[in-house]
Structure 1
Amino acid sequence: MVTAILQIFIVYLSGSVALLADTIHNFGDASTAIPLAIAFSLARRKPSKRFSYGYGRVEDLAGVIIILLILFSAAVAGYESLTRFLDPRPVGHLQAVALAAIIGCIGNEVVAEFRMKVGKEIGSAALIADGYHARIDGFTSLAVLIGAIGVWSGYPILDPLIGMLITIAILKIVLDSSKLVFTRLLDGVEPEVLDKVKDIAESVEGICEVTDIRVRWIGHRLHAEINASVDPSLSVEEGHEIANAVREKLLENFSYLSGTTIHVDPVTASGECCHCVPENLEKRKGKQKRILSVYPS
């Protein structure tokens, strides 16, 4: 916001449409902090009877709002650039435009580093997307600097052209951020996370097999549901201790893991296919026969 306010005065003085596009973009960036702040505030609330999983999903909705804000800034910047391209106007105070571009680049990079660092630490897709957005903004500010040099060299057409390039860069951010945010809204998760959860669970002593795993993000917190099989001769208490060992090992390896549901099955009836679905009865009997050769009753 500080960067955008500094730039807006120079836009007024110079009439640079490239700098105007960059300034609009920076105002858009500053406004994306508002839905994120609201989302993080709501996420701190304790789960209720109506929202038993808590309010972490609000963060994903904030990601959608951020994408819409970025898209709006692209539309405004594109309109202004096209208008100036069709109706060229002189650009003045080129030194001030260049200085504003440098300020914009530095300001955006500082914000980008901070947002991405914190986003990766807490596993927040929305915050990471916002950080990449700020980094691209820094590059667009450098594009404004190139435009100012072009105008100074006698090519004023470069100013609206740079504005159009900035618009294209903003649209690319919209596309990349949308993939990440909407994947999480649809309970998508990175495949490597799923593989890591399975490897950790299977490495716990007493676990014979991990048959089913479901992992999803709720905001920047990870939730896992695991079906694991154990020796059928174990007591309920021993099976419970093994499940706790799995949970503790997962928490050691995932700082952003907030919830785990571990269903312990006897190895003779493991997996979702063995939980009283009539059409799977024959499958279940066949599996029991195979397992009983290893764990005779």
Structure 2
Amino acid sequence: PYGHGKFETLAGLFISGILFLVSGKIIIEAILKFFNPTVPQISSVSLIALLLTLFINIFVCFYETKQGRKLNSQILISDSAHTKSDIFISLGVLITLLSIKLGFSPIIDPIVSLIVAVFIIQAAYEIYKDNSDVLLDKAVVDTEQIKSITQSFEQVKDTHKIRSRGSSTNLFIDMHIMIEPDLNVVESHKLIHDIQEKIQKEVNEKAQVIIHLEPFEEQEEKKQ
């Protein structure tokens, strides 16, 4: 079923919502700290754990991003952005501790927190935008690119009603092409197959392409 591919999209939107909530919590806490600044305390054990977590998250983030692009998986890319938010928070804590150690006022804590919140909001928005576009079936492929591919076949006289939707992992493309009416079924089938292969090669190897054939002369007669 077509809709099953959108479970990954819904998961991405869920991750986006979590990040918006996390950033909101950080902003509220930062505002409260402006009125009552305190020096953050952290033990040596906690600091070591924080550094270890930071390095692990950096590795996980890079790995998820790499695999997400390799597998064309939106959920992996979205989760890498979620992991990146943990990296921002850890870096924010380290920067705050180092700044206070260097003699800066405790007010640096909420300032850094707000900066971290901005980065998280940006990541959340990017995830939301990418996944909402898929959910709303926004065009994924440039129609001119598809038209250029189909028109490269001499049997194709015109291409119209080009539509695309989905995502890079679950891409659907459909169109109407006008061909010479004297092409038989075997020749027409081969033409469609060749067009589909070229689109998959030049646009997306996982693209599912549906092509509707129309006789060229018949359409010309209707226009007259």
Q: Which range, TM-score by smaller chain?
A: 0.7 to 0.9
1:241 aligns with 2:186: no
Listed as ranges, the matches of 1:206-285 within 5 Å are 206-217=155-166, 220-253=169-202, 254-257=204-207, 259-269=208-218, 284-285=222-223
Task: Give the SS at the match of 2:4.
Answer: coil
1:177 aligns with 2:127: yes
Runs of 4+ in 1 over 6 A off after TM superposition: none
Aligned-partner Cα distance in 1 for 2:154–2:43: 69
Aligned residues: 222
Unaligned runs of 5+ in 2: none
Unaligned runs of 5+ in 1: 1-51, 275-282, 287-297
Q: Which has the higher contact order (CA 8 A, sep 6+)?
A: 2
Give 1:89 shift. Answer: 3.0
Listed as ranges, the matches of 1:1-20 within 5 Å are none
Aligned-partner Cα distance in 2 for 1:247–1:191: 14
Q: Any conservation in 2 of the 1:202–1:208 contact (CA below 8 Å)?
A: yes
Distance 1:105 1:226, change over 3 A: same
Instruction: Report the equivalent of 2:36.
Output: 87
Q: TM-score, normalised by structure 2?
A: 0.83
Q: Any conservation in 2 of the 1:205–1:242 contact (CA below 8 Å)?
A: no
Aligned-partner Cα distance in 2 for 1:182–1:112: 22
Listed as ranges, the matches of 1:41-56 within 5 Å are 52-53=1-2, 55-56=4-5
What do residues 51-108 of structure 1 show as CA deviations (whole Å, max 9, x unaligned)? x325111111112111111111112222333333323333233766654554344233
Listed as ranges, the matches of 1:93-108 within 5 Å are 93=42, 99-100=48-49, 102-108=51-57
Distance 1:96 1:145, change over 3 A: farther
Greater displacement, 86-95 / 180-189: 86-95
Listed as ranges, the matches of 1:26-41 within 5 Å are none
1:201 aligns with 2:131: no
Alignment match of 1:153 (pick from 99, 102, 119):
102
Root-mean-square deviation (CA, aligned residues, Å) is: 2.7
Aligned-partner Cα distance in 2 for 1:195–1:112: 35
Q: Which amino acid is the alignment partner of residue 155 of structure 2?
A: G
Q: Any conservation in 1 of the 2:88–2:119 contact (CA below 8 Å)?
A: no
Aligned-partner Cα distance in 2 for 1:122–1:236: 36
Distance 1:164 1:243, change over 3 A: same
